[in-house]
Amino acid sequence: MFKSINAESSFMLMIDIQERLIPAISNKDEILANSVKLLTAARELSIPVMTSEQYPKGIGHTVSQLQALIPEGSPAIEKTEFSCCDNPGFGDAFLNLRFNSGSKDTAIIFGVETHICVLGTAIGLQEKYNLNVVVAADSCGSRSPEHHRLALDAMRDSGCLVVPSETVIYHMLEKAGTPQFKALLPLFKQ
Element (H, E) at 43: helix 28-44
Strand partners, 53: 78
* 160 vs 153: CA distance, rounded Å: 10
Mean pLDDT for the stretch of residues 23-48: 97
Residue-level pLDDT at 101: 78
pLDDT at 114 exceeding the cut of 80: yes
pLDDT at 102 exceeding the cut of 90: no
At 22, the pLDDT band (50, 70, 90 cuts) reads: very high
Strand ranges of the sheet holding 161-163, from the earlier edge strand across to the other edge:
76-79, 49-54, 10-15, 106-112, 132-141, 161-163
The mean pLDDT of the chain is 95
Mean pLDDT for the stretch of residues 37-44: 97
Strand partners, 44: none
Torsion of CA 154, 121, 33, 17, to 10 degrees: -130
Give the domain ranges of the chain. Answer: 10-183
Model confidence over 135-169: pLDDT tens digits?
999 999 999 999 999 999 999 999 999 999 999 99
- pTM value is 0.96
Residue-level pLDDT at 95: 86
At 133, the pLDDT band (50, 70, 90 cuts) reads: very high
Residues 6+ apart with CB under 8 A from 128: 85, 91
Residue-level pLDDT at 96: 87
**What Cα–Cα distance (Å) separates residue 45 from each residue in 58, 158, 170?**
34, 28, 11
CATH of 10-183, one of 1.10.10.10, 3.40.1740.10, 3.40.50.850, 1.10.357.10: 3.40.50.850
At 103, the pLDDT band (50, 70, 90 cuts) reads: confident
Residue-level pLDDT at 127: 96
